[in-house]
Amino acid sequence: MMSEVNNIEVISDQLGDQKLSKEVNNDVNGDEDKVDPWNVCSNSATGVDYDKLIVRFGCSKLTDDILQRMETLTNQRVHHFLRRKIFFSHRDLHVILKRYEEKQPFFLYTGRGPSSSALHLGHLIPFIFTKWLQETFNVPLVIQMTDDEKYLWKGLSIDEIKKATKENIKDIIAMGFDVNKTFIFSDLSFIGKCPAFYENIIKVQRSVTFNQVKGIFGFGDSDCIGKIGFPAIQAAPSFSSSFPFIFKEKKDIPVLIPCAIDQDPYFRMTRDVAPKLSKPKPALIHSTFLPALTGAQTKMSASDPNNSIFLTDSANQIKNKINRYAFSGGGATIDEHRANGGNCDIDIAFQYLKFFLEDDNRLEQYRTDYSSGQLLTGDLKKELIGIIQKIVSQHQENRKKVTDEMVDQFMALRNLNF
């Protein structure tokens, strides 16, 4: 049975890569969702249709069979992000699981584009899950800070970007990553220090035509040339040969990349290029988006403080934002709500509980009580406020302990334990 599943996944991934070769940009029209590395929007109150996105991007659905296999291999329950389909699709995850089963190495790669000095809750999702993967599979991790990307796209100065990068790195360290297994690097400072990394960048750049990169990312004639070349920089960490100080002579160790689904175009391109460079294709595992406070039509964004909860927000700010802005799926009146119940599919407080409440039984009880009308919107928001306040407060305490010396340790070129 498992071999049949794997064969289906391989065919699906091949089709997805072929779509890239044909320069499919996945543009949307009419009422379709728009999802790319810079824009996420939907006309539906329930947000992005991820099943359609799987078909459009040519990736594979994370099935219960795969989750069961992960539990069997690791001898522990999978993360609630997996149980609740927050991480919902993948490319070649079965290849990584097979390597783990055979006691063959792999590594993790994820990243952050530092456009603001403070992370919001949505930024935590890939890092929470990546930390779980690192601890569960006991593998090294590289974290790319794409400060060059934010300079090219956001119009900020180099000094502003560098400051945001350092602050974001401290937020990431505060999440508890193991310094002995984690390397964090900034593109602006790392490329000049590691010739092997730049060599892989230009190898990718020579393998992708201008027409292809326009087709994949939608670049226009008026975009600066820096944008055209950037995707190769995000591709390069997918290859173990980019980090000779970590992997030494081993240039064929594959990577697993946990990321939000909007980052997939970068790695569809990378997967298309990898065989040409005699390198293993990166495997991916994709997450859904944490919706904005005001509704699931778009994801949480740092550009709108009323739509986002930041890790620097006070307990009172968190309470006020959730009470004031979190979109309700409840009835217009208490009587109407008691009679008809609430809609958990569009209620933002409930959607956030899916992300941040670890107890499955409690979550299901909230779903039942809210859907039946027994639990009011205000009650649901109160539960969420307490959970988010605790998460942010704990992060702020951890953040206070992160020093500049710790940042230097994580960013030092060195061997990692694996």
Residue 88 DSSP one-character state: E
Alpha helices in 138-275 (DSSP H): 147-154, 158-173, 187-190, 195-207, 210-217, 225-235, 244-247, 264-273
Structure tokens at 347: 């209620």
Rounded Cα distance between 296 and 150, Å, is 25
Phi and psi at residue 292, to the nearest 5°: -65, 155
Domains of the chain: 2-292 (3.40.50.620), 304-400 (1.10.240.10)
* Amino acid type, 353: L
Confidence band of 340 (pLDDT split at 50, 70, 90): very high
Whether 17 has a pLDDT exceeding 60, the answer reads no
| % the chain with pLDDT above 70 | 92
pTM of the model: 0.91
Per-residue pLDDT tens over the stretch 234-284? 999 999 999 999 999 888 999 999 999 999 999 999 999 999 999 999 999
Q: What is the pLDDT of residues 194-246, one digit of tens each?
A: 999 999 999 999 999 999 999 999 999 999 999 999 999 999 999 999 999 99
Please list the residues that pair with 255 across neighbouring strands.
107
Give φ, ψ of 28 to 5 degrees. Answer: -110, 150
